[in-house]
Structure 1
Amino acid sequence: MAAAESSLKNKAIEDISWLDAEKEYALGVHQGKLVCRNPKGKKLSAVPKWLKETELAEQLLALCEWLADHEMECQHRIETWMLRSLPVPRDAVEAVWADPVWSDALRNMVVTPLDAKGKANTEQTGLLRDVVAKKGIGVVDRDGETQWIKAAQILIPHPILIDGLEDLREIAVDLKFSQAINQLFRTVFSATAAQQDLTRITDFQGGRFAQLNFVTSLCKRLGNPVRGGYACNKIWENSIPLEARFWVGDEYPESETSTGELIFVNEEQVPQKIEDVGPVTFSEGMLMASQIYAKRQVEKEEIDNS
């Protein structure tokens, strides 16, 4: 085992494209980070300060920043396709696949082919593994078999919409597939019969935070802007935008606050009945509220009763 790990490590070092630097050192980029090799050919654990300040190092550091931004942009774009259930042209997937950042982000995402009328063919739903121009998009389906999708468009569905989700999760675990974008194991919520006639959800109310700025900072990290006391998440489903809003408070930043209602409003700012909220929108709104509520200040009594 140790020999195998050492071999893989050496192979990774060999794959680095080294550039000659000052004093017979060499610089390169590995896994998005600046790395260096000394004159004896040994890869160092850290780049010396003097070497990091050279012109070549500064250029490579700028490249690292660009690669990080590119990776984030690719993942954000794919997540947007998933959240909005947007059809993706197969030609577009084939065009970007040669870029390892794109292929790493797309690999193992669950995809479904669409017919000419935009209807999903769930029989070919599977985990995206490869893209070959002449063969199409290669997936591992729910039976663990390889299929090639040749449809002109595919869908990267939200997990709440995936038929046979548990089967695909099991395959991914068995084959040790991982995803750059959280799709397969994303927490999903379905509205209960009792919630259908409601216009507000109170499952996550009463989450106490010692200071309002604690929860607003949390919302920012989660990607949910706070407006008018609400954490917000705007979702387009079937081309209809609704905004999930979860009350976090609107007092001064250092004041104590508690979470409140979760509502879904249309563009006229009117709260909608849950029965009129799409499954993706409802699930993502509940996910936002649950993530914020999970970071509340937990009292000792609450821990003892859990």
Structure 2
Amino acid sequence: MGWLAAGEGYEVALVEGRVTARSTGGRTEGRQLKTLPKAVREHPETDRLRRFAEWLDRHAASCVAQADAWMVSSLPVPTGLLARVWPDEAWQAALRDLVVVGADEDEAGLLRDVTADGELRLVDLDGETVRISPATVTFPHPVLLPDLDDLREFAAELGVVQGVEQIHRATWLRPAEFGENSTEVKDFAGGRYPSRFGLAARASALGYRVSGGYATSRVRDGGRTVEAHVWIGEPYYDGDSETGGLSWHDQDGRVIALPEVGAVAWSEGMRMAAALYAGRTVEEGKGA
């Protein structure tokens, strides 16, 4: 974006997401100013730029949220759609270097480019550039990636930083055996907070939905919608609160037995429970 006139003697522009001014005359002509003069701060062009910057931030966040939803649920994404959004810098930041899998499981690699006609250019584990043009691709959840450790090592060598947490996303593998009729996990129960409000606020800040007495995380796993629930206390309760057990429910609200919980739903539910437990009050000192 170019520089826009903002009153006599000044121009404004968005520089790294922030409204910046520069002088258009005198000894300081063309020099960027460290702060905005009062006349510039109150100029309509400055206000329009601020609102545009706020929109750009919201747009970037929505791109990340959509890409994250595709990844968490391993949904098929049309390559034609990727070709349409790729020219947008916000979409590129969200999608670049995500692990992509084509029609064949061997067609996998880090996404580096998408052409206008829908050809995807990937870098595979051998460091080779691979070109694929399937009708749809997936951005698999990391718990489904068989070469996750190799991918993490390879990404570290390349200095890859993903806009959506995929390769380095915390994952939990479902145990092979469970107790009879088990429906709840209590690994992260008992995380105490000074207030129920604080626990609910942490859940919301982490992107989880708070409904009634639960923090919830919904994903599609194996073709069905599954929602993980962690008890966080009765709504409107003023006293201290603590994390409760973790359970999974189908789209009709029925509790799912632990052996029937899919790998992705298990990992995402445990991730939520662990994140809530991590924010607990930790006592220090003797006797803690």
Q: TM-score range by the shorter chain?
A: over 0.9
Question: Shift of the alpha carbon at 1:19?
Answer: 1.5
Aligned length: 283
Equivalent residue for 1:153, pick from 120, 136, 146: 136
| Alignment match, 1:24 | 9
Query: Is the CA contact (8 Å cut-off) linking 1:212 and 1:256 kept in structure 2?
Result: yes
Aligned-partner Cα distance in 2 for 1:242–1:221: 21
Deviates more, 1:94-103 or 1:16-25: 16-25
Aligned-partner Cα distance in 1 for 2:205–2:118: 41
| Alignment match, 1:89 | 78
Aligned-partner Cα distance in 2 for 1:62–1:196: 55
Equivalent residue for 2:244, pick from 260, 266, 269: 260
Equivalent residue for 1:219, pick from 187, 203, 218: 203
Question: Shift of the alpha carbon at 1:205?
Answer: 0.9
Deviations 1:214-239 (A, max 9, x none): 10111110122222311111112233
Is the aligned partner of 1:54 residue 2:38? no
Aligned-partner Cα distance in 1 for 2:36–2:179: 58
Task: Give the 3 Å change call, closer, same or farther, for CA 166–49 of structure 1 in structure 2.
Answer: farther
| Alignment match, 2:190 | 206
- State TM-score, norm by structure 2: 0.92
| Alignment match, 1:5 | none
Aligned-partner Cα distance in 2 for 1:295–1:190: 22
| Alignment match, 1:229 | 213
Equivalent residue for 1:163, pick from 129, 132, 146: 146
- State TM-score, norm by structure 1: 0.87
Question: Shift of the alpha carbon at 1:211?
Answer: 1.1
Matched residue of 1:156: which SS?
Answer: coil
Question: Shift of the alpha carbon at 1:17?
Answer: 1.7
Query: Is the CA contact (8 Å cut-off) linking 2:96 and 2:162 kept in structure 1?
Result: yes
Aligned-partner Cα distance in 2 for 1:291–1:199: 20
| Alignment match, 1:181 | 164
Aligned-partner Cα distance in 1 for 2:287–2:128: 46
Matched residue of 1:193: which SS?
Answer: coil
Q: Give unmatched runs, 5+ long, in structure 1.
A: 1-15, 115-120
Task: Give the 3 Å change call, closer, same or farther, for CA 21–251 of structure 1 in structure 2.
Answer: closer
Deviations 1:121-140 (A, max 9, x none): 22121110111235811111
Question: Shift of the alpha carbon at 1:251?
Answer: 6.0
| Alignment match, 1:7 | none
Aligned-partner Cα distance in 1 for 2:91–2:112: 13
Deviations 1:172-203 (A, max 9, x none): 21111111111111000111123475211010
Counterpart residue identity of residue 130, structure 2:
Q
Counterpart residue identity of residue 37, structure 2:
P
Kindly report structure 1 stretches of 4+ aligned residues shifted beyond 3 Å.
194-197, 301-304
Equivalent residue for 1:299, pick from 260, 278, 283: 283
| Alignment match, 1:44 | 33
| Alignment match, 1:69 | 58
Task: Give the 3 Å change call, closer, same or farther, for CA 34–303 of structure 1 in structure 2.
Answer: farther
Deviations 1:70-90 (A, max 9, x none): 111111111111122111111
Counterpart residue identity of residue 221, structure 2:
E
Root mean square deviation, CA, Å: 1.9
Query: Is the CA contact (8 Å cut-off) linking 2:83 and 2:118 kept in structure 1?
Result: no
Aligned-partner Cα distance in 2 for 1:230–1:303: 31
Is the aligned partner of 1:192 residue 2:181? no
Aligned-partner Cα distance in 2 for 1:150–1:61: 40
Equivalent residue for 2:114, pick from 115, 131, 135: 131
Aligned-partner Cα distance in 1 for 2:206–2:286: 25
Deviates more, 1:188-197 or 1:261-270: 188-197
Aligned-partner Cα distance in 1 for 2:67–2:38: 38
Query: Is the CA contact (8 Å cut-off) linking 2:82 and 2:118 kept in structure 1?
Result: no
Question: Shift of the alpha carbon at 1:303?
Answer: 10
Query: Is the CA contact (8 Å cut-off) linking 2:112 and 2:122 kept in structure 1?
Result: yes
Is the aligned partner of 1:282 residue 2:271? no
Counterpart residue identity of residue 80, structure 1:
A
